[in-house]
Structure 1
Amino acid sequence: MKKMQYAVIGLGRFGSSLAKELMSLGYEVLGIDKREANVDDMSGVLTHSVQADWNDEDVYRSLGIRNFDCVVIAISEDIQASILAAILCKEQGVKKVVAKAMSDLHGRVLEKIGVERVIFPERDMGVRVAHLLASPSLLDYIELSNHYTIAELAVPSRISGKTLRELNSREKFGCTIVAINKPGEVIVSPSAEDRVYEKDVMVLIGTNQMIERFEQAIH
């Protein structure tokens, strides 16, 4: 089976971290950056790393950029260069373009030119950390959409030993416990008779308000 091939344009902190993680997952990764130091840092780490002007159409053509399964535009210091790189990738026929945005306006422009997925690493991490700081029992928080969130909550002593039926999170609060992370095992799609204990972690899906009400009720 052919390995997925990724190209990462921009090998700064975000781009290099992403590229290395894709390599660790077993994919082939081409890194492109105009700065020699960044390319040298990735030499021998990625499948290929190339120093080139990321706004030169001929560069993309010579690299066969259209043959990659996904191109990630991780240029962070130049919005104009990021947008132009996205346009050139789309014109070359890249199947999937993912781009990092530095502002909502930047993100809207990227969406307008056909970028399949726009990511906001700094904003999303800021939101995530804020929620973790605001709630001591919240272990992790990921926003799935504008409305729904997946969150991990530590089980407090007050509800230790209770079944999911007794907690009744869905009927009372609207959020659903989709997994229980127990020491040594994970119960996915737990039944109403499964019990939670201290040191367990509940994984919930719901709106921020639903999860917040549930959290307040169990403490």
Structure 2
Amino acid sequence: MTSKTIGILGLGVFGSTIAKTLSKYDCDVIAIDKSEENVNRLESYITKGIVGDITDDELLTACGIGDCDVVIVASGSSLESSILAVMHCKNLGVPEIICKAKSRISTEILTQMGAHKVISPEKDTAIRVARNILHRRISDIIQLDNNISLIEFYPPKSWIGKSLQELDLRKKYDLNLIGYRNGPNEKLNIQFTADYRLKESELIVAITESDSFEKSDFFDDFAN
């Protein structure tokens, strides 16, 4: 697999976290930030770090942003800066532009300007926390689309010891099983057969329609 080149425009908490995470994988990271301190702090995590203005189209061109497979506009402090950065990336032909936003209006504007995906970290985190409070069995939730979510959860007691064939998760619960973990932070196991029997300490990872678990009694239904 050919390694990807990822551009990160803005190295605040959000951009820095992405850079550090990407450093664990086989990809090149080009990062730009107006703060020399921010760039220097991430020197060991990025392939190329540039101190400069992310709204400067000539700088973006010179730094190779146009050659990136994905560019993340991670500076959410100024909507104007984000808009200009998205416009320049679009003009440079970047195939995928991901942008951070702080409000619904900002999200709409950035989408209209050419961002392929706009995320609101604080809003997304708040939603996940609220859902975790309602659904104690759920360990994590990642919304993939408007109504499709990836969920990680502990199986109800009524499932323990039963085979996947017996449970028939897709038909009975609208759950498409991806795999399971032996515990938190353990490696995801995607090798399983229909006769595999669930254990109490395992975490199940599955895809489902978000509407299916919006009700607080979602997992109560499983136990019946």
Please indicate the TM-score interval, normalised by the length of the shorter structure. Answer: 0.7 to 0.9
- Return 5+ residue gaps in structure 2 as ranges: none
Answer whether contact 1:19 1:46 (CA < 8 A) is retained: yes
* Alpha-carbon distance change, 69 to 208 in structure 1, aligned in 2, over 3 angstroms: closer
Shift of residue 52, structure 1, vs aligned partner: 0.8
Shift of residue 2, structure 1, vs aligned partner: 5.3
Answer whether contact 1:97 1:115 (CA < 8 A) is retained: yes
Shift of residue 172, structure 1, vs aligned partner: 3.1
Distance 2:2 2:159 in 1: 49
* Alpha-carbon distance change, 167 to 75 in structure 1, aligned in 2, over 3 angstroms: same
* Alpha-carbon distance change, 104 to 204 in structure 1, aligned in 2, over 3 angstroms: same
Q: Which amino acid in 1 is paired with 2:103?
A: S
* Alpha-carbon distance change, 158 to 102 in structure 1, aligned in 2, over 3 angstroms: same
Shift of residue 125, structure 1, vs aligned partner: 1.7
Q: Which amino acid in 2 is paired with 1:203?
A: V
Give CA deviations for 1:5-53 in whole Å, capped at 9, x if unaligned: 2221101011011112212212111211112221222234321211112
Q: Which residue of 1 aligns with 2:199?
A: 197
Q: Which residue of 2 aligns with 1:215?
A: 219
Q: Does 1:112 align with 2:112?
A: yes
Distance 2:3 2:210 in 1: 38
Q: Which has the larger radius of gyration?
A: 1
Q: Which residue of 1 aligns with 2:6?
A: 6
Q: Which residue of 1 aligns with 2:129?
A: 129
Q: Which range is displaced more, 23-32 or 202-211?
A: 202-211
Root-mean-square deviation (Å)? 2.4
* Alpha-carbon distance change, 57 to 170 in structure 1, aligned in 2, over 3 angstroms: closer
| TM-score, normalised with respect to structure 2 | 0.85
| TM-score, normalised with respect to structure 1 | 0.86
Q: Which amino acid in 2 is paired with 1:167?
A: L
Give CA deviations for 1:131-169 in whole Å, capped at 9, x if unaligned: 112222111111121212221221233332122343343
Q: Which residue of 2 aligns with 1:66?
A: 66
Q: Which range is displaced more, 126-135 or 184-193?
A: 184-193
Aligned length: 219
Q: Which amino acid in 1 is paired with 2:111?
A: E
% of aligned pairs identical?
30
Q: Which amino acid in 1 is paired with 2:163?
A: T
Shift of residue 85, structure 1, vs aligned partner: 0.9
Distance 1:185 1:45 in 2: 24
Distance 1:151 1:116 in 2: 24
Shift of residue 98, structure 1, vs aligned partner: 1.6
Q: Which residue of 1 aligns with 2:157?
A: 157
Distance 2:5 2:31 in 1: 11
Answer whether contact 2:30 2:49 (CA < 8 A) is retained: yes
Q: Which residue of 2 aligns with 1:45?
A: 45
* Alpha-carbon distance change, 93 to 185 in structure 1, aligned in 2, over 3 angstroms: closer
